[in-house]
Amino acid sequence: MAGSSPFTRQSFPDGTVLFREGDAADAAYMVESGVVEMVVRCVDGSERIIGTVGPGEMFGEMGLIDDRPRMATARVAMEAMLVRIPAAAFKAQLKTVNPIMTRVLVQLAKRLRALSHELTLTPRGD
């Protein structure tokens, strides 16, 4: 299977920005090791970490599910080994899923985007 897989595996140091909020969604990522934080920019200009992703978890898939721009910035918080899954490969797999389940995924993505938007409007409380 070497050479035929569309997936690429790469190591990223702390602080690497993988994509930014508002970017077009061109891939999803699977974390093999390390930590990636998901960050949104609030209306007051501050940043808010809305989640962290660790080994065995995936991120960047929402924009591929609902064909919308990235809802958050993905930044490496602890050196990470990631597997990049290009949009075409991800969408090809999504087409093999029952259409009802695909609709469920799109609806969940829509709800998560709405919740994330609400977080950007709420003043940060420490």
Q: CB-based contacts of 38: which residues, under 8 Å, 6+ apart?
A: 49, 50, 51, 52, 53, 59, 72, 73, 74
User: Letter for the amino acid at 111?
Assistant: R
pLDDT tens across the length of the chain (126 residues):
455 788 999 999 999 999 999 999 999 999 999 999 999 988 888 899 999 999 999 999 999 988 999 999 999 999 999 999 999 999 998 888 888 887 887 788 778 777 766 766 665 554
Q: How many domains does the chain have?
A: 1
Residue 24 lies in a domain: yes
- C-alpha closest to that of 66 among 95, 7, 108: 108
Residue 49 maps to which CATH number? 2.60.120.10
Q: Considering the entire predicted model, what is its pTM? A: 0.79
Label residues 69-93 b or e (16+ Cβ within 10 Å = b).
Answer: ebbbbbbbbeebebbbbebebbeee
Residue 87 lies in a domain: yes
